[in-house]
Structure 1
Amino acid sequence: MDKELAIVEQSNRGVIGRFGNRMVERGRQLKGQACVLDARVRSVLEQPDEGAATAEYAVVLVAATGFAAVLVALLKSGAIKTLLEALVKKALKVV
C-alpha cells in the first residue's frame, strides 16, 4: 500500500479526504496512461515502417515522371543535341 493512500485513507473524513482519494486515484490513472504511451512510442521507434506507403509511392512516381520529362525536353534541345553529337564523335575518334 502506498504511503499516500494510507495517509488519505486515515484522513477519509470530509471534503479533504474525498479530494485526496480522488487525487490518488487520478495519479494511478495517469501513471497507467503514461506506461501505455511509453510502450506505444517505444514500439514505433523500434520498428519503423519499411518502404513507402501507396500514396507516398504514387507521389514518388509522379515526381520521377516529371523529372524524366524535363530530361527528355533538355535532350531534344538543339544545343544539347550538338553537344552530345560532338561528345560521341570525339569518343569514336579515340577508339
Structure 2
Amino acid sequence: MSKQTDAIGARTGISVPLRERVAGWRERAERGICLLDARMRTLTAEPEEGAATAEYAVVLVAATGFAALLVAILKSGTVKNLLTDIVKQALNVA
C-alpha cells in the first residue's frame, strides 16, 4: 500500500479491499451501461432493416408463383398451338 492510499483510507474510513471491490463494481457497471447504450443505438438506427428482408422474401415467393403459373399456361396444348401458328405465320411472311 502506498502512503496516499493509506491517507485516503484514513480520511474516508473505508478499507482498501472494500474500496477496490467498489471500484471493480463501478467499472463493470459502466461497461454494462456502455454496452446497453450501444445496443439501443444499434436497434434504433435501422428499425426497418428486417422488414426489407421480409418484403424481399415475399416478392420472391410471389415471383416464383407467377413463373410457375406461366409455365403451366405455356405447357397447355391450346397455347402451344397458338404460339406455333404465330411462329409459322412469321416465317411465311419473311
**Is TM more than 0.5 here?**
no
Q: What TM-score does the superposition give when structure 1 sets the normalisation length?
A: 0.43
Q: What TM-score does the superposition give when structure 2 sets the normalisation length?
A: 0.43
More relative contact order in 1 or in 2 (CA 8 Å, sep 6+)?
1
Q: Greater Rg, structure 1 or structure 2?
A: 2
